[in-house]
Amino acid sequence: MKNLLLKEFKLCFSVVNYIFLLFAVMVLIPNYPCYVSFLYLVLNCFLLFKNTDLNKDLQYSLILPIKKSDIVKARCFSIGLYEIIFILLSIPFAILNIKLFPWGNNAGIIPNFGFYGFVLIMISVCHYIFFTIYYKKAEKHDKAFFITLLFYIILFFIFEFPVWMVYSRNLQELNFLVKSDFISLLKQLPILIFGIIFYILGWILTYKVSAKRFDKVNL
């Protein structure tokens, strides 16, 4: 698995994929939808699969003395690690955003605990959709991307809607979502914990379903 991961990061990930890590800084932009920054994780997934398809990476991997499920597992681990690095890189800028702009974000949620919980749920759903569509026939990365993008946009509106209600309707019950004080962060903590659990279980499910589908593909 170690060698497969090295192959992923050295041969499959392009320079553009690594440049995308810089977009973690976008959570620092004032009065800007924070979720836009993490949209690049969806785009990163698409570019990675597109690049490996063009380079016949699957065909190369299949001649190696490994199981087909190991190919899927390596891809899951590599993208999962990439996502975690992206999230960790964004955290210092999220803290800086809250310190520099204490009045909040007129465009939606601020980068607090609740936000990161929602992000973990969003990207979990997205990589499940992308992987399971792609590995059903080991092709159609374009179709997988557009369907995943659609779901990301839908989830964006679902998770931002309560925040917009706080701003437009002064909905006090959900006011903690747009705050970063200690009490508000405590209220957001269950969302973050749920997001972490959802993310871990999401990857397990993504791998199992994708590996099962890919095992039936004849290349």
Average pLDDT in the chain: 89
Calpha distance 143→145 (Å, rounded) = 5
Residue type present at position 7:
K
pLDDT band at 150 (very low <50, low <70, confident <90, very high): very high
What pLDDT does residue 215 have? 86
- Report pLDDT for 62: 79
pLDDT, mean of residues 164-173: 76
pLDDT score at 156: 94
> Long-range pairs for 166-169 at CB < 8 Å and ≥24 separation?
167/106
pLDDT tens for 19-67 read 999 999 999 999 999 999 999 999 999 899 888 888 887 788 778 888 8
- Structure token digits, residue 5: 């991961």
State both tokens at 79: 């993208």
What are 140's two structure tokens? 């159609």
The mean pLDDT of 172-192, rounded to a whole number, is: 88
pLDDT at 171 over 90: no
Which string of DSSP letters, residue by residue, matches 151-198?
HHHHHHHHHHHHHHHHHHH--GGGGGGG--SHHHHHHHHHHHHHHHHH
Instruction: Please tell me what DSSP assigns to residue 10.
Output: I
Domains in the chain: boundaries:
2-215
Check whether 147 has a pLDDT greater than 80: yes
Q: Taking Cα atoms as reference points, which of 158, 86, 95, 175 lies closest to residue 122?
A: 158
